[in-house]
Amino acid sequence: EAQVTQNPRYLITVTGKKLTVTCSQNMNHEYMSWYRQDPGLGLRQIYYSMNVEVTDKGDVPEGYKVSRKEKRNFPLILESPSPNQTSLYFCASRPMLVGAGELFFGEGSRLTVL
């Protein structure tokens, strides 16, 4: 089954404790992206990657890191989480078609930073 898998789905952590949210897709998509969703703000892009070893900042990259060492994986790293990073996070992927194709989303990871 074609899918984007995120882990963990739910996490409660404390300020300053490094954490990684993993994202993996099995569709051989070149493009991957991370979004965060907050009430009243919709979905905002954190980082994206067009292919292995190619990453770039989205609209709200502060406090986050990413890496793309393999095509299928795109982890989101919070080196020192803070309460304002409490949010619902989505990983997404899509193929690099001519024109903009739809994004395939993971199920979301709800993160709470105390």
Partner 1 sequence: AQKVTQAQTEISVVEKEDVTLDCVYETRDTTYYLFWYKQPPSGELVFLIRRNSFDEQNEISGRYSWNFQKSTSSFNFTITASQVVDSAVYFCALSRDSGYSTLTFGKGTMLLVSP
Chain contacts with partner 1 (rule: CB under 8 A): 30-31, 33, 35, 40-45, 48, 50, 58, 88, 90, 95-105, 107-108
* Secondary element (H or E) of residue 87: strand 87-94
Q: What are phi and psi of 84, to 5 degrees?
A: -75, 0
Nearer CB in complex with partner 1: 48/74: 48
Nearer CB in complex with partner 1: 14/96: 96
Nearer CB in complex with partner 1: 24/33: 33
Cα–Cα distance measured from residue 110 to residue 108, given in angstroms and rounded to the nearest whole number: 6
* Secondary element (H or E) of residue 49: strand 42-51
CB of residue 44 to partner 1, shortest distance in Å? 8
Q: How far apart are the first and last CA of the chain?
A: 36
CB of residue 41 to partner 1, shortest distance in Å? 6
CB of residue 2 to partner 1, shortest distance in Å? 12
